[in-house]
């Protein structure tokens, strides 16, 4: 039985917790320890694992328990210290994105992985969305011809739910650039490699916090863009989207439409690829509603699967997470000029 500790039981910790519970129905995995400094969140998480030992602090969980893996779902500024502590104990780590928020921490994490050989994965979850997987597949296979241009984005309302309002502190979250934009940056790197050039525009709130970014890239002859917004109002409904133009038509995704993915050919009828495709969700029966967890379930399943079968992590590796934040650091340096 794979023994897992969950550190941080807020918004994302709750999602990881449910994914682990669903996985435990048909995999040899259990959450044996939980940590959160807010008792109400800890108590809620414990409802899924009544036998789990609870801790107020993540460090105490790592120091006390003998675990196979920890999931780090803490505010972003706390990722590195907890990940290093677990890696030094030989415990595998799934770290939420952004993996860290400083260049110094990128180096410390990579050095720790080289030294310890511990398996580490970063929660760059777009790689586990059916729609983004389809985009990657048809780009690589050129099913609709060569990719011509791509526009990606993530827009949502003001982020009010964080512990001690950490999202609004640039030193803790890295602003919308490291929090939301890093998703598209990671995916563009995964899809197209390293950009050959880029330019950035960003806007700030009165407090000075960057809440809007738009970056235009060139990946060789392919123009691309990615935009991210934390709106001033909390009420703007969240939307993730991409518009990918291929030689034979345009693949369009919006998290706010049903079906979410459409292919609009130059000639002929609109196709809805995922409604006819057998999705990964449909193949499994855990007795729990895994469709609501969707890509998060797939992400956690991949991580746990690599540990159970002793396979290397090849998706959303520590290096992928580090290179994504490094590209964002570079973009930030252009904003600050
Ligand atoms: N992959 C995604 O789509 C996605 C979405 C949202 C957030 N995230 C990431 O997940 C991470 C957590 O975000 P969130 O929205 O859950 O934040 P959150 O503030 O809701 O949750 C963080 C939790 O950590 C707890 N905590 C703080 N310090 C602690 C400590 N020292 N020991 C134990 N617990 C402690 C807090 O009480 C809180 O419950 C962030 O890195 C964020 O960027 C990822």
Query: What pLDDT score does 280 carry?
Result: 61
Query: Quick one: which of 33, 38, 41 has its CA closest to 67?
Result: 33
Distance from the alpha carbon of residue 11 to the mean position of ligand 1, in angstroms = 6
Closest atom of ligand 1 relative to the 159 alpha carbon: 15
Average pLDDT over residues 217-234: 97
Query: Quick one: which of 216, 176, 178, 217 has its CA closest to 194?
Result: 217
Query: What pLDDT score does 281 carry?
Result: 60
Residue 79: φ, ψ to 5°: -60, -50
Closest atom of ligand 1 relative to the 58 alpha carbon: 32
Choosing from 58, 77, 96 the residue with most ligand 1 atoms within 8 A of its CB, the one to mutate for a pocket test is 96
Beta bridge partners of 317: 121
- Token look-up 């008792």 returns 39
pTM of the model: 0.96
Query: What pLDDT score does 294 carry?
Result: 86
Closest atom of ligand 1 relative to the 124 alpha carbon: 1
Distance from the alpha carbon of residue 5 to the mean position of ligand 1, in angstroms = 15
- Tell whether the model's pLDDT for residue 4 goes beyond 90: yes
Q: CB neighbours (10 Å) of residue 237?
A: 10
pLDDT (tens digit per residue) in 191-213: 999 999 999 999 999 999 999 99
Whose CA is closest to atom 8 on ligand 1?
12
Asked whether the beta carbons of 276 and 83 are under 8 A apart, the reply is no
Is 215 inside any structural domain? no
CATH number at residue 303: 3.40.50.720
Query: What pLDDT score does 274 carry?
Result: 86
Query: What pLDDT score does 293 carry?
Result: 81
Query: What pLDDT score does 289 carry?
Result: 64
Distance from the alpha carbon of residue 14 to the mean position of ligand 1, in angstroms = 9
Query: What pLDDT score does 108 carry?
Result: 98
Is 171 inside any structural domain? no
Query: What pLDDT score does 283 carry?
Result: 61
| Maximum separation of any 2 CA atoms in the chain, in Å | 63
Is 161 inside any structural domain? no
For residue 64, give its domain range: 2-125+293-315
Is 250 inside any structural domain? no
Distance from the alpha carbon of residue 73 to the mean position of ligand 1, in angstroms = 5
Closest atom of ligand 1 relative to the 13 alpha carbon: 16
- Tell whether the model's pLDDT for residue 24 goes beyond 60: yes
Distance from the alpha carbon of residue 166 to the mean position of ligand 1, in angstroms = 9
Query: What pLDDT score does 198 carry?
Result: 98
Average pLDDT over residues 133-147: 98
Is 69 inside any structural domain? yes
**Token pair of 146, please?**
């060569």
Query: Quick one: which of 55, 49, 112 has its CA closest to 79?
Result: 112
Is 51 inside any structural domain? yes
Pairwise CA distance, residues 45 & 17, whole Å: 7
- Tell whether the model's pLDDT for residue 284 goes beyond 80: no
Query: What pLDDT score does 180 carry?
Result: 97
Is 334 inside any structural domain? no
Asked whether the beta carbons of 3 and 68 are under 8 A apart, the reply is yes
Beta bridge partners of 202: 213
3-state SS string over the chain? CEEEEEECCCHHHHHHHHHHHHHHCCCCEEEEEEECCCHHHHHHHHCCCCCCEEECCHHHHHHHCCCCEEEECCCHHHHHHHHHHHHHCCCEEEEECCCCCCHHHHHHHHHHHHHHCCCEEEECHHHHCHHHHHHHHHHHHCECECEEEEEEEEEECCCCCCHHHHHHCHHHHCHHHHHHHHHHHHHHHHHHCCCCEEEEEEEECCCCCEEEEEEEEEECCEEEEEEEEECCCCCCCCEEEEEEEECCEEEEEECCCCCCEEEEECCCCCECHHHHCCCHHHHCCCCCCCCCCHHHHHHHHHHHHHHHCCCCCCCCEHHHHHHHHHHHHHHHHHHHC
**First-to-last CA distance in the chain?**
52
Whose CA is closest to atom 21 on ligand 1?
10
Distance from the alpha carbon of residue 9 to the mean position of ligand 1, in angstroms = 7
Report the number of distinct structural domains present in the chain. Answer: 1
Mean pLDDT of the chain: 95
Query: What pLDDT score does 253 carry?
Result: 97
pLDDT confidence band for 285 (50 / 70 / 90): low
Q: Which is it for strands 147-156 and 222-230: parallel, antiparallel or unpaired?
A: parallel
pLDDT (tens digit per residue) in 159-171: 998 999 999 999 9
Pairwise CA distance, residues 91 & 84, whole Å: 10
**Token pair of 83, please?**
């990940």
pLDDT (tens digit per residue) in 287-316: 666 567 889 999 999 999 999 999 999 999
Is 80 inside any structural domain? yes
Closest atom of ligand 1 relative to the 14 alpha carbon: 16
**76 HSE (CA, 13 A, CB side):** 29
The percentage of the chain sitting over the pLDDT mark of 90, rounded to a whole number, equals: 92
pLDDT (tens digit per residue) in 62-109: 999 999 999 999 999 999 999 999 999 999 999 999 999 999 999 999
Which residues' Cβ are closer than 6 Å to ligand 1? 7-13, 35-38, 41, 57-58, 73-76, 78, 96-97, 123, 125, 161-163, 179
Beta bridge partners of 262: 252
- Token look-up 């309302």 returns 157
- Tell whether the model's pLDDT for residue 237 goes beyond 80: yes
Closest atom of ligand 1 relative to the 162 alpha carbon: 19
- Tell whether the model's pLDDT for residue 272 goes beyond 80: yes
């Amino acid at each position: 039985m794979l023994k897992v500790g969950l550190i941080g039981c807020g918004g994302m910790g709750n999602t990881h917790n449910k994914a682990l519970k669903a996985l435990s129905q048909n995999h040899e995995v259990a959450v044996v320890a939980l940590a959160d400094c807010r008792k109400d969140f800890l108590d809620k998480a414990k409802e899924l694992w009544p036998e789990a030992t609870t801790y107020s602090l993540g460090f105490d969980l790592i120091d006390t328990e003998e675990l196979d893996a920890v999931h780090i779902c803490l505010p972003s500024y706390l990722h590195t210290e907890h990940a290093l502590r677990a890696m030094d104990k030989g415990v595998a780590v799934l770290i939420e994105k952004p993996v860290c928020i400083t260049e110094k921490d990128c180096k410390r994490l990579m050095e720790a992985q080289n030294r310890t050989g511990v398996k580490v994965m970063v929660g760059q979850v777009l790689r586990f969305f059916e729609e983004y997987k389809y985009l990657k597949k048809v780009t690589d296979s050129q099913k609709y011809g060569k990719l011509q241009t791509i526009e990606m984005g993530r827009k949502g309302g003001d982020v009010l739910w964080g512990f001690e309002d950490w999202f609004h502190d640039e030193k803790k979250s890295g602003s919308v650039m490291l929090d939301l934009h890093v998703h598209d940056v990671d995916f563009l790197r995964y899809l197209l490699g390293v950009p050959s050039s880029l330019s950035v525009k960003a806007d700030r709130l009165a407090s000075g916090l960057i809440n809007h970014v738009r970056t235009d890239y060139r990946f060789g002859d392919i123009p691309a863009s990615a935009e991210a917004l934390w709106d001033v109002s909390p009420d703007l409904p969240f939307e993730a989207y991409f518009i990918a133009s291929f030689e034979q038509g345009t693949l369009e995704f919006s998290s706010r439409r049903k079906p979410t993915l459409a292919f609009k050919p130059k000639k002929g009828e609109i196709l809805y690829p995922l409604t006819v495709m057998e999705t990964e969700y449909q193949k499994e029966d855990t007795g729990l509603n895994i469709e609501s967890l969707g890509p998060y379930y797939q992400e956690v399943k991949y991580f746990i699967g690599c540990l159970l079968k002793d396979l290397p992590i090849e998706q959303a590796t520590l290096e992928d997470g580090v290179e994504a934040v490094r590209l964002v650091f570079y973009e930030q340096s252009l904003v600050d000029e």
